[in-house]
Chain A
Amino acid sequence: MELYLASMNTSSDKTTDNEQAAWNQAHDRLRDFLNAFALGDHAQVSRLTLKLLDQAREQHRQDPSRDPVSLAMAQAQKLVQEWFAANLEMRDQAPSELLASGCVALFLSRAFRSAPERFLTAPLPENLKESMHQTLLVTGPDLKISSMTPRHLDYGPMLDLARRTWHRWNPREIVIALIFWAGVYFVFYWWLSEAL
């Protein structure tokens, strides 16, 4: 009986340890994720981490099969999207677009530095909301397409010469050319030998 209880305790401890490790991992992940927003207020990161962790624990109680990290991060990402949607009044956008627009707006408005305590918890003040609305990334102005194509260029005699060489690689011509240049060389040699 004691043995049985001991084995029961060990198994239960292991489960608890694993679960604790998973929740620790979820905590660290949430903290890293929120730190990535570079909030000016570190306490706000801690508060949000614990809040999201509690929400995840609540959900985990209802569905213990789900992994704590995934649960916690799903909570966090949902909260981020909802907060952006509320502040930017962009309800119908796809999550990826909402996240991109929201993060760009948050970054450019510098709200993460000027009002970090409101991040994911409360609506931003109207002036910051306004500045978030105004942010728009223009990577390039409207296109004004031109056609830029090369004009014909006559490469002249060298092209004719080269084409003939490429297209008619004739050993006979090479032999003739060699004889010709050998002749030129010997004439030059003779001339210099005699003249100098």
Chain B
Amino acid sequence: MNTSFPETAVAVRRTLFIGGSTLLTATGFALLLHSYSGQPVFWTDYIVLALFPLLFGQIAIGFLLALFGFCDWLRGGDPFHLMRQPWREREDSVPLAATAIVIPVFNEEVQRVSQGIENMWNSLKKTGQMEHFDFYLCSDSNEPDHWIEEECAWLHLCQKLDAFGKIFYRKRRHPINSKSGNVADFCRRWGKRYRYMILLDADSVMSGPTMVRLVRAMEANPEVGILQTQPAMVLGQSPFRRLLQFSNAVYGRIFSQGCSFVQRSSGSYWGHNAVIRIAPFIEHCDLPMLPVPNPSRRHVLSHDTVEAALMQRAGYEVWVAYDEPGTYEEGPPNMSDMLKRDRRWCAGNLQHFWFLFARGIEMGNRLQIWIGLMAYLCSPIWLVFLVAGSIGAYDRARFLAFSAGPEDLGAVQHPEAPFLFIMTMLLLFLPRLLGIASALPRTKQFGGFFRLLASSLVETFFSILIAPVLMLFHTLFVLQGIFGWQTKWTTQNRADTSLSIFHCLKLYGWQSGLGIAGQLLAWFYLGFNSCWLTPILVAWMLAPLSAWMTSSRGLGEKLRAWGLFVIPEESQPPAELDGLVAQNDEEAQPAAPLWPQALLSPYVQAVHLSMVRQRSSPRNGAKPASSLANLRERLVQQGAEALEQKEILRLLWDAETVFWLHEELWSRPNTRLHSSWKPLQSESGKNALLRHYMIAE
């Protein structure tokens, strides 16, 4: 803890937060209880009563974080925050230390990643501090095309930027433990060479000055273990991504500021766009196995929150630099991709339950874990709450209809119910108003006041439309997590590709059915009282349409032209984002596979051989294993399509096989080669992607 900051002030902030959220929840609960007075109570009402505090508590927490963030913003930020402490006055004199910029990738869009690295390199170069930084592209890609393209892109980058010995490429043969395993692998191999690592996602970009400032912040504050930045979501083309980046820009800031206000030095870590002190990370932050009987479920899927907790357990601070500029990421381009990501996150957050009661974890981290858990658990709770509430309403209406005297009918009127409704709406929507208020001094950057307002209204409308859809999916994900269905670390689609209407109908059609059936049942049993369910049921009915519309790149471009959902990074584009916008190539023909060029193109083969030779065991002329020999022959005789991904990877990992195949594929007459090799041979010198990486001057 920083000495200039009184310990009691932390306690006051946390008491205000925990006390405030408890008080708000208790008030809501009291209003709910009172609304039942004088009424018959049915079994479903007990479910409603039991679940209400959990749901209302979440809303209260969100509201308070936004309120604290807004108040903190009004006073110009927390003067005791790490990034506002006295070291900033002598910032330029703080020395830098060896820092690795680590970018773990997994079948990501290679051109986008390499362009990001190039931009960061150029930005860092301008700071004049390049000597302190090295880049590491750490790949877990298991698609042969991605692997080979990464190698070509790495060589291209090194040559273009004259960065040999500064940009490194590492491909893991056995990608165990996903991203956290990839980072741990870097730490074990090269961690000792560096004092810090800046961890980025494949879609992350940071400006040079920001990286330099973060490292200086760490160097000036040796008690800090992790310094997390709040990346701005950028480069959205589809309406969905634009909605996300707009809400992130307008509302995200005050939430982060509020979190930071409460958490201070026990902040969050999101696994990317953060700088980490490597030595304690190596010593204390390797992820423990979960104590579950099934060995395949012991690995911690969502590593960041746990790593932050372990870092703090070791006595180091974790801070969020919520207002640092020059740090960016991209959001999911459409609802389907967000669901894919949420499925992974949900499984990870559910696992965090184990750490909730673990010994030695700080209170701030427990709170973080709880909020993360409830982010997904709230969905099934909300669903059960809705069903129980609807059944309760039906029971009550039927009871009153059959047994009501005039005095019973009067009992239906409760002044507490409207109060509770108003309070809930305030807690839900006031943070949005506070967010808009905090954006008012920068309205020009959002396209002007009216556009900011219009964008906020449309964003709110879409949030109302999307939230019930997410609720159903999150409920499914929670059930999957509880029953142990496997969730893999899948690649996030970062290109703004539109979803087809057939995909939307297939994935979301069941929600439409559920919405129509629910609406009919609600009208039949509840009559006019079903109105409060209508927004949810309509959102379900429109789910395929919402998913389809929000993924449409054409609509996204129109929104942009109308000046809606404009963010500051679009009004004044930073140089670090140059060339990163994904091109609209939805109608482009699928490219030929690239990996066969590792066997045909002399340059690609040479680069690949140089990479794998050191790691394949030489046979010194001995024959390969019969299974490998069979694979080779199958590839030659039956073509590249005949092999499975696993088999291709096995061939590509064996240096002698790669060389043997190179000779055979060029030397054998057509009669002894599969017909698919001929066009690949001809293409070897013409492949557009290869020419981009290898030939372009």
Which residues in A have some Cβ–Cβ distance to B below 8 Å?
22, 25, 29, 32-33, 35-38, 67-70, 73-74, 76-77, 80, 95-97, 99-104, 106-108, 113, 136-141, 143-159, 162-163, 166, 185, 188-189, 192-193, 196
Contact = CB atoms under 8 A, between A and B. Distances in A.
Max chain A C-beta neighbours (<10 A), residue from B165, B187, B193, B603: B603
A156 B354 CA distance: 9
Contacts of B606: 99-104, 107
Nearest to B601: A36
Interface string B32-55: 010011110101001001000000
A73 B192 CA distance: 48
A125 B580 CA distance: 40
Nearest to A110: B697
Contacts of A138: 164-165, 168
A140 B668 contact: no
Interface stretch (B78-86, B104-112, B356-364, B487-495): B356-364
B526 interface: no
Nearest to B679: A32
B655 interface: yes
A93 to B, nearest CB: 12
A49 to B, nearest CB: 13
B666 A155 contact: no
B76 interface: no
B669 A100 contact: no
| Dominant secondary structure at the A interface | helix
27 contacts: A32-B685, A33-B666, A33-B681, A36-B601, A68-B669, A96-B609, A99-B609, A100-B605, A108-B159, A139-B168, A139-B610, A140-B136, A141-B165, A141-B193, A144-B191, A147-B188, A153-B360, A155-B359, A156-B357, A158-B353, A158-B356, A158-B357, A163-B291, A166-B293, A192-B49, A196-B33, A196-B36
Contact of A150 (B289, B358, B613): B289
Given A38-B694, A137-B164, A141-B193, 15 more contacts: A29-B666, A32-B684, A35-B684, A36-B601, A70-B668, A73-B667, A77-B663, A77-B666, A100-B606, A100-B659, A137-B155, A139-B154, A140-B170, A146-B191, A153-B359
Interface residues of B, number: 75
Contacts, number: 188
A18 to B, nearest CB: 11
B168 A103 contact: no
Nearest to B306: A153
| Dominant secondary structure at the B interface | helix
Given A37-B602, A96-B609, A151 B663 contact: no
A181 to B, nearest CB: 12
Top-4 shortest CB links A-B: A103-B606, A35-B685, A96-B659, A144-B192
B287 interface: yes
A104 B136 CA distance: 21
Given A140-B189, A153-B358, A155-B357, A32 B682 contact: yes
Given A29-B681, A103-B602, A154-B358, A148 B188 contact: yes
Contact of B286 (A97, A99, A145, A148): A148
Contact of A100 (B189, B359, B609): B609
